[in-house]
Structure 1
């Protein structure tokens, strides 16, 4: 007795998807290539996606790339992999990229915010575009020389060297610093220390300017700036110097990011001072660290994932000849337990 042969399992094609959705193959190509907007109704696009999912259809990306002349790959350059903020930026960029059949290669600049070298023998043939997070445009000379579209995140939109950037995606950093400074002033603080990042970058310059602007509007305030490398140990030492300097002790430490704030809290603890009873502390970023501290940190929440989303969306818009969204992303003041009215105003 012979066993009947099972019919060969075939890979679904775009024709199968078109037949199942009741549309043409051209419509399937438009929808799955994310070029249907204004040409196909949302209901039809949804029907095509449903049919493709039901059939398990996967476009031949290699063939598609050859037709389009694209690799469907973007490079995300960040100053460091050890900072949670940049990991969240990457997650946002990768999520948006995946929705459009793109991949994202993550590349940390070897020298932090210093010059980033071309990580490929020829980036032009390996990539469709570059997204750079929190870096000066001048640091990207090698990658700019490839002629690839460049989207800058959290960077100076008026930098003369950034004239060839195709788009900028920024957070409303100044508003965040205005909010956190206003919060401290509203509690009655007048003697403040700015625990500032020693990194020379636009985003930290904006924080310093916004802090100074807010204090100028309130008479009787004093501000001392102490700089620190972006690590807890350096921040603890810098905060200790500020707290033990001659003269009246500051009632609040306003920090450029949550890592610096953690160092400030350690300094206060080692000096026998209480947070916020003796000195209030604020951060910036709202990393996971902010709620790991005890007491939990008052800080400014930056929507890092949205920065990545918007950056990838901007690159896709440039590649398709559309105008990217250039509005700043809003930030949020999160008031927790490290701020209170000064004990001795």
Structure 2
């Protein structure tokens, strides 16, 4: 009841006092948690509970909101260094991705950072182009600088330089049976590729080319296996591999489509970037999309609607991947077990697919 009476009195107050005026010669004093407690009419312990996000079940939601509002109005900022020493925690997560030049991973970061901010965490990026990490650890000691790591399976090779077995690790889009991680956040990849195959088969396609990523990663292995299983007997499937680059994909596809006698009617790509390369190659060879060749992508990046015709592709909720990655890490740090079904994918049908031309 005492806490309720304090919060009621505080709610009736006209507001926290304004910060003292600055003088040219006097040093500026930062507001402290004691100042917040006094202005809000609560104890310093209550301020610590609220700003440390440990108030649930101990402080009312109304009091918690009052403390947060008062802290904001006073311009209070916690002393992170002191708090980290006290708690043995930096409240920092490392996100390991191949590169932010790929829109997908930029969206993953956006989702992870959004959830992290709600819990007073920061997210630091560790870019690992082509799955190979930088030459040295970005921290003097990663184990001392981090609370945990979230990593894409495409950047898994970089993990050897970071932390150790005691550092919580959440793997994104990675083999859940591979072990070595505290939690996994995965996608319904097989369902996505099944949807692509069903769509093309329903249009009447029977000769397929799989433009596969040359990156050695579990996620692309799953896509290849799913496509092969989804195509019934009597259909033809050929696979060629390319780096995840429009230029490389264009060159690969020009070679693959050069012989008219062995051309597919549909190209299934592991990624929208590869699909754009496939479209460029087709045009260079005088092929019309989709009249002469249907093309599908995977990811549904902005690139998918920047080309003409727009790409039929599988939409991956990239921001949700980042959000769940951070949720999983927070769950592990709280001593609980993370469980969640694979995130669903959606086939988005656009103008790059149509029934095959009669031959």
Residue matched to 1:286: 300
Residue matched to 2:267: 253
Q: Single out whichever of 181-190 and 260-269 deviates more from structure 2.
A: 181-190
Choose which of 183, 190, 193 in structure 1 pairs with 2:199. 183
d(CA) in 2 for partners of 1:144, 1:327 = 28
Q: Give the secondary structure class of the aligned counterpart of 1:343.
A: coil
Shift, 1:99, TM fit: 2.0
The answer to whether the aligner puts 1:265 opposite 2:279 as a matched pair is yes
d(CA) in 2 for partners of 1:223, 1:38 = 59
Q: Give the secondary structure class of the aligned counterpart of 2:101.
A: coil
Q: Deviations over 1:98-134 (max 9, x none)?
A: 2222222111126x22466533231111211111112
Choose which of 207, 227, 238 in structure 1 pairs with 2:223. 207
Q: Give the secondary structure class of the aligned counterpart of 1:135.
A: helix
d(CA) in 2 for partners of 1:287, 1:201 = 20
d(CA) in 1 for partners of 2:207, 2:227 = 13
d(CA) in 2 for partners of 1:43, 1:325 = 32
d(CA) in 1 for partners of 2:227, 2:201 = 11
Give 1 or 2 for the bigger CA radius of gyration.
Answer: 2
Shift, 1:172, TM fit: 1.5
Q: Deviations over 1:117-159 (max 9, x none)?
A: 5332311112111111123756523325363111111111111
Choose which of 218, 227, 230 in structure 1 pairs with 2:244. 230
Shift, 1:33, TM fit: 1.7
8 Å CA contact retained: 1:74, 1:105: yes
Shift, 1:60, TM fit: 2.2
Q: Give the secondary structure class of the aligned counterpart of 2:160.
A: helix
Q: Deviations over 1:273-330 (max 9, x none)?
A: 1111111100001111111111111111111111111112211222221322432112
Q: Single out whichever of 150-159 and 120-129 deviates more from structure 2.
A: 120-129
- Alignment CA distance shift 1:23-1:175 (3 Å): farther
d(CA) in 1 for partners of 2:171, 2:188 = 15
CA RMSD of aligned residues (A): 2.5
Q: Which sections of structure 2, spanning at least 5 residues, go unmatched?
A: 1-19
d(CA) in 2 for partners of 1:169, 1:105 = 19
- Alignment CA distance shift 1:47-1:330 (3 Å): farther
- Alignment CA distance shift 1:59-1:240 (3 Å): same
Q: Single out whichever of 37-46 and 85-94 deviates more from structure 2.
A: 37-46
Q: Single out whichever of 205-214 and 241-250 deviates more from structure 2.
A: 241-250
- Alignment CA distance shift 1:102-1:177 (3 Å): same
8 Å CA contact retained: 1:136, 1:156: no
Q: Give the secondary structure class of the aligned counterpart of 2:131.
A: coil
- Alignment CA distance shift 1:46-1:237 (3 Å): same
- Alignment CA distance shift 1:27-1:174 (3 Å): farther
**Length-normalised TM-score, structure 2:** 0.85
Q: Deviations over 1:238-261 (max 9, x none)?
A: 222322336353111010001100
**Length-normalised TM-score, structure 1:** 0.88
Shift, 1:10, TM fit: 6.1
Residue matched to 1:68: 87
Shift, 1:59, TM fit: 2.3
Shift, 1:340, TM fit: 1.1
Residue matched to 1:32: 51
8 Å CA contact retained: 2:154, 2:215: no
Shift, 1:37, TM fit: 3.8
- Alignment CA distance shift 1:212-1:61 (3 Å): same
Q: Give the secondary structure class of the aligned counterpart of 2:94.
A: strand
d(CA) in 2 for partners of 1:330, 1:304 = 11
- Alignment CA distance shift 1:241-1:99 (3 Å): same
